Amino acid sequence: MSVISSQPKKIIIIGGGSAGWMAASLIHKAWAKKGTKILLIESDVISKIGVGEGSTPSLRLFFNHLGISEQEWMPQCNATYKCGISFPGWTNTDDPAFADYPAYIHPFYSQADWKTGNAFMHNARLRREGVDVPAHPDNYWLQSYLAKSFKAPIARQQLSDEMDYGYHFDSALVGDFLKKRLLNMGLNHLTDTVDGVELDDSGQISSVITKRNAAQSADLFIDCTGFAARLIRQALNVDFVDYSDCLFNDRAIAIQSPIDCSRDIPSQTTSTALSAGWAWQIPLSNRYGNGYVYSSKYISDEEAEKELRKHIGPSCLGEKARMIKMRLGRLSQHWHKNVLAVGLSQGFIEPLEATALMLIQHTVESFISSYEDMQLSKRDILAQQDIYNSQLNEVFESIKDYIVAHYRLNSRTDSKYWCDNRENKNNSARLKALLSAWSTPGGDFEAELHRHNAELTYFAPSWYCLFSGKGHFPTSLNKPSANTKVAPTTEIIKYCHQVSKQFYNHNEQLEKVYGERLDIL
């Protein structure tokens, strides 16, 4: 396929949901005014997964890029603010080595954390070497204090450094919001089901056959058909790289429960370890989203639902449960021939760190940039696809390693699931090197992060929070010598408490954005 322009003439997106409408939004922004025709075909008989209800800070950049304010989209999607993710229950607090680490928060950090964050990493380095200094991450990051005091990551007065943050939201409503916006902007849309695919002599897709609107042809097709991967796998037979040897979970059960908006709404996701996986709790302005991500090898669906309901409590009585089968892994090629896979069709890493929408956004944005660069560089399309797929696969692998590390670093001994996860040796060379460097006296952990490109998606502070938050330090500790420089944790705690007072209460900030009281919505 030769390069004839810096953007395709016609694009067909198959599938709606978050993936389809986010892809359509970004492509419309980049190419619609340059003459690219965009058609989104959305089935009304295929159900959407739609349980990803948390984000990383990249979603804020997504809406900013589209020129959409928080006042415009958040009330339409029952959205709230997110300062980070809390991880209770991942350690064995009956063991004295982990007694002081029952939970920790993986925060979103900003320039405001530069000094306190460096202090945390300094103390963590000392504790790794057997020096008895405080190194729990929650003491050093401002957003940990905001989350624990039900604050929004929005200051009452402009700070010198703006905070970074994520959101909680109803993912189905995000798709609906973007759909309505694009249809008002004139995007072409068909409600129909793809029954077949036609290939040309070169093996590319020439058209898709719809149930009610016959054949639809295009230069480029975007596969947003979820786990079915209707185009990229069923039609083009692209290989799938399975992650089940290192990530055991293959099921999720989702249950909603009510929220009392007359009380403080949390500004954090909570991911609590249960017997055969972990449970999420995500606060929206109208309800809680709850779920259990687990392995069917260690617990039945019925037992998992029972355990989740017990964990949630009586508030979920009478609420329906939805079970979702998951396939964890990624494609070997996300952009193949004239098809780009986006969302679940390209792969899935369990939602422990809420990376699903970030991957959708990154996939599409980097594709747009790559496609345009292909024209400027005069590079052959196959060479450009190789570069694109290699870089995107490295992003998937980097996220996978960070997620796997959560399980490898657990210290629970109460179930075979947790013991098997901790003992599992099916890890990448990168993760093995990081685990070794952290636990080896004198090991240069940060050098290993750089050497293995481990900071592609998670910077050093996140890796330090992960290892330190789960209490992975020597059991034998010595008092610091007179010459040892120790970061002043007590002063840092006072400082963070004082600064956190400058931020809006979460409910108060939401009511500013919504323009009305939450408890009467």
For the stretch 48-105, pLDDT in tens is: 655 559 999 999 999 999 999 999 999 999 999 999 999 999 999 999 999 999 999 9
- Residues that constitute the known binding site for 7-chloro-L-tryptophan: 82
CA 437 to chain centre: 26
CB of 241 within 8 A of CB of 311?
no
Side chain identity at 166, as an amino acid letter?
Answer: G
For residue 521, name the pLDDT band (cuts at 50, 70, 90). low
What's the whole-number mean pLDDT along residues 168-176?
Answer: 95
From CA 468, how far away is CA 452, in angstroms rounded? 20
Q: What is the pLDDT of residue 4?
A: 46
Q: How distant, in Å, are the alpha carbons of 64, 82, 99, 157, 425 from that of 161?
A: 18, 18, 35, 11, 42
The residues with which 386 forms a beta bridge, in sequence order, are none
Q: Render pLDDT for 453-482 as a digit per residue (tens, 0 to 9).
A: 988 899 999 999 999 999 999 999 999 999
310 is catalytic: no
For residue 214, name the pLDDT band (cuts at 50, 70, 90). confident
What's the whole-number mean pLDDT along residues 255-263?
Answer: 95
- Residues that constitute the known binding site for L-tryptophan: 353
Mean pLDDT of the chain: 94
- Residues that constitute the known binding site for FAD: 16-19, 194, 344
What's the whole-number mean pLDDT along residues 211-218?
Answer: 93
CB of 38 within 8 A of CB of 7?
no
- Residues that constitute the known binding site: 16-19, 82, 194, 344, 353
What's the whole-number mean pLDDT along residues 428-436?
Answer: 97
Q: What is the pLDDT of residue 1?
A: 40
Lowest mean pLDDT among 131-140, 245-254, 342-351, 375-384: 375-384
For the question of whether the overall pTM of this predicted structure is more than 0.85, the answer is yes
Q: Render pLDDT for 177-213 as a digit per residue (tens, 0 to 9).
A: 999 999 999 999 999 999 999 999 999 999 999 999 8
Catalytic residue among 48, 82, 151, 179: 82
Question: What backbone torsions phi and psi does residue 194 show, to the nearest 5 degrees?
Answer: -80, 120
Q: What is the pLDDT of residue 135?
A: 97
Q: How distant, in Å, are the alpha carbons of 101, 104, 270 from that of 94?
A: 11, 17, 22
DSSP 410-471: ----SSHHHHHHHH-----HHHHHHHHHHHSTT--HHHHHHHTTTTTTS-HHHHHHHHHHTT
Q: What is the pLDDT of residue 48?
A: 61
CB of 271 within 8 A of CB of 316?
no
